[in-house]
Structure formats: structure tokens, C-alpha cells
Amino acid sequence: MYKDGGVFIRHIRRDTLPRPMATLCITADFWKKRRVFLTGHTGFKGAWLTVWLHDLGAKVFGFSLPPETTPSMFKELRIARLCRHETGDVRDAAPLARAVRLAKPEIVIHMAAQALVRRGYREPLDTFGTNVMGTANLLDACRGVPSVRAIIIVTTDKTYENREWVHPYRESDRLGGRDPYSASKAGAELVTAAYRRSYFDEAGVGVVSVRAGNVIGGGDWSEDRLIPDAARAFGAGRVLRVRSPNAVRPWQHVLDPLAGYLMLADALTDTRGHTSPAYNFGPPPDAALTVGDVVARFADAWGGRARWKADPPKHAPHEAGLLMLDPSLARRELGWSPRFCTAEALRLTAEWYRRLYSGATGAEMLALTRSQIAEYTSPPIPF
């Protein structure tokens, strides 16, 4: 066991085999009264991060469209009470710039996005507008704010040009995307690189993009996503129909990449440190699982009469069948590694949704969310 004044973390191989422990430093000492501007705080990952930052003592300034789903983690848990909440669209440059100026943040985390592949096919212009121009607007808004020291742009594993090969993608691999969502996220990466080199490097502001694999956890109600679809089906006693059971993805609990973002923000504000321009956050390649494996394990964790069946559609937009990330750079440079194995991630996710569908109040769900963050940050049992 190792300790360095922060959070403990455990490396886990696949579902059961533990690896040596390492230390993850996410301390209240660093985050207390730290001013953080967070776009997309009303979304799934943004809601979790808002709770975590608030509990660390940060002053969170959120800028986002209203929640797009019903129910919504942001609304159900009344997360607006935990931050300075402003409703806005990152495609509207002037209100966004005004919000950044008034917040005077030291750290900016950009999560606002159109994040669904199939919706990208239906609404390509909105997808490119939000993901490309929204990113450009955010970066431009930060240019004239002297308090900003670190900017983290959240993209996706789908930002890589996917060749459907077995090799996990590294940060230096070619970007691309054959569908509007993937291409828009690759475009956001190019915009980020251009602003970094043109403006922020000279100003001494750290600008880094982060690419995470498939994220699961309680509170996600997005359309056409496996775990939200499963929770809706199991909660209503229906059979879940799975369209791509053989697709392979790097599954991880939402707290794992969020921990990486927090660690990276700490590193970026340390003028003595060095960071790369981009990082992958995901489980090791040998922990990737098929959609069928994940839904079967989620059904087991849910218990009761949770049932599912494969039901591939005859005609559907293209979706990647195989996609894996190499997270070794984040491990090497930041000391980050996943804390939860797949089994733990699915257990916690099923617990969160089951509690909600059993009639738990918003206050009880917020307490459960905090307890899962506490479980993530608690020291592991030595072995």
C-alpha cells in the first residue's frame, strides 16, 4: 500500500485479478475554493463531476443547455444547488464569453457536446455546430481571461480513424471519423490543437484534450446507449433488445475518467510539470468486453427477472464494431489507472438505478452518489 496525501487507487486486471496499488492524488487542499468553469454540467458526466468538485470545496460555474432527458440526474438530485448554474448554448459565442469573464476561472473543463452517434446521423449540422464551433467558442472565450491556467477539452475514443483492428489506439494515432459524430469530435481536436499552438502555449496556459472509452454509471438516460436502455427495460420489467451484441468496447465507470480529468487539472496548474497534448482514459485493452458480455453481467447485477435478447436491425447506420484505447500514457505521465474493474462498475451502476426505480428520493440518490464517490476514493483493502 502506498500513500501520498491523496486518494488511493488499485490497478485491476480484467474482472478479478488485482494489480499493484498506486496513488491517485485528488485532494481537497488543491481544490478548495478553486474556481472551475464547467460546460455541460447538466449532462451525465457533468453532473457527477459537479457533485465531486463541490464536495472537494471547488467553486463550480456551470454553463449548459437544460437537461435533455427525462428523468435527469441533474434535476432529480437538484445539482443546481451545488454550483453557479447558468443556462446557455456553447454555439452562442457572446453569452459564453461573458460567462467565462464573469466566472474568472482558473480551470476550465469543456464537456458540453452532442455525444450520440445515431443522433449525429439524424442531425449532422447541429452535431458539427456544437462539437466543433462550440469548442472553438469556448477556447476563444478563454483567450482574454487572465485567470485561466488550465483548459481540458473532453472528446471521445471515437475521435480516432477507426480501422477495426485489434491494436489499441494511442494518442499519436491518426484522427478521423466516418460518421458525423466521430468526425465532429476529430474536428474539435484539430480546433484545440490550433488554439493551443496559436495562443495558449505562448501565454503559458495548459490546453489538453482527453479521450475516454465507453463510460457507464448511474444517472445516464441518453437515448441509444446500452446501460440506460437496459435500466429502462429492467426497471419496467421489459426484455432488453440489443442491436450489436458482438461489438467490443473499453467499458469503465464514470468516476475513472473523471478522476483522470481532476488529476490532469492539477498537473496543468503546476508550472514545473509537463503534460502531453492529449490523453486516453480507459481500461487496459485486455479488459475490453463485448456488448453481450456487459449486458449479461449487468442483468446478473440487477437481479430479479432482468432479461435481454440479441435483436440486430436489418438496416442501421454504421457503428464501430471494435474500438480499444491504450491508456499507458496517462498511467506513465499522470499516475492514473482505473480504480474499478468491470464487475465493480456494473455492480455500482445497477445499484444506482435499482435504488431510483424503487422510489428513492432525490436527496437519497444524491447521498448514494456521494457514497459511491467515497467508495471510489477510499483506501483499498491491502492484500
Per-residue pLDDT tens for 101-135? 999 999 999 999 999 999 999 999 999 999 999 99
Would residue 2 count as lying in a domain?
A: no
DSSP string, 290-355: EHHHHHHHHHHHH-TT-EEEE---SS-----SB--B--HHHHHHH----SS-HHHHHHHHHHHHHH
Instruction: Output the domain CATH number for residue 238.
Output: 3.40.50.720
* pTM of this prediction exceeds 0.85: yes
Would residue 368 count as lying in a domain?
A: yes
Indicate whether 382 pLDDT > 90. Answer: no
pLDDT at 246: 87
Would residue 57 count as lying in a domain?
A: yes
Q: What is the pLDDT of residues 151-200, one digit of tens each?
A: 999 999 999 998 866 688 999 999 998 899 999 999 999 999 999 999 99
Would residue 337 count as lying in a domain?
A: yes
The torsion angle over the Cα atoms of residues 278, 283, 286 and 288, rounded to 10 degrees, is: -100
Would residue 1 count as lying in a domain?
A: no
* Count of structural domains within the chain: 1
Q: Which of 314, 315, 268 is nearest to 34 (CA)?
A: 268
Q: What is the pLDDT of residues 188-237, one digit of tens each?
A: 999 999 999 999 999 999 999 999 988 999 999 998 899 999 999 999 99
Would residue 382 count as lying in a domain?
A: no
Would residue 383 count as lying in a domain?
A: no
pLDDT at 129: 98
pLDDT at 315: 58
State the residue range of the domain holding 139. Answer: 7-377
Using a pLDDT cut of 70, give the percent of the chain over it: 89
Would residue 84 count as lying in a domain?
A: yes
Q: Contact 310/242 with Cβ under 8 angstroms?
A: yes
CA distances from 88 to 97, 130, 135, 308 (A): 11, 12, 14, 39
Could you tell me the three cell numbers for 202? Answer: 505562448
Mean per-residue pLDDT, 294-322: 80
Mean per-residue pLDDT, 311-329: 72
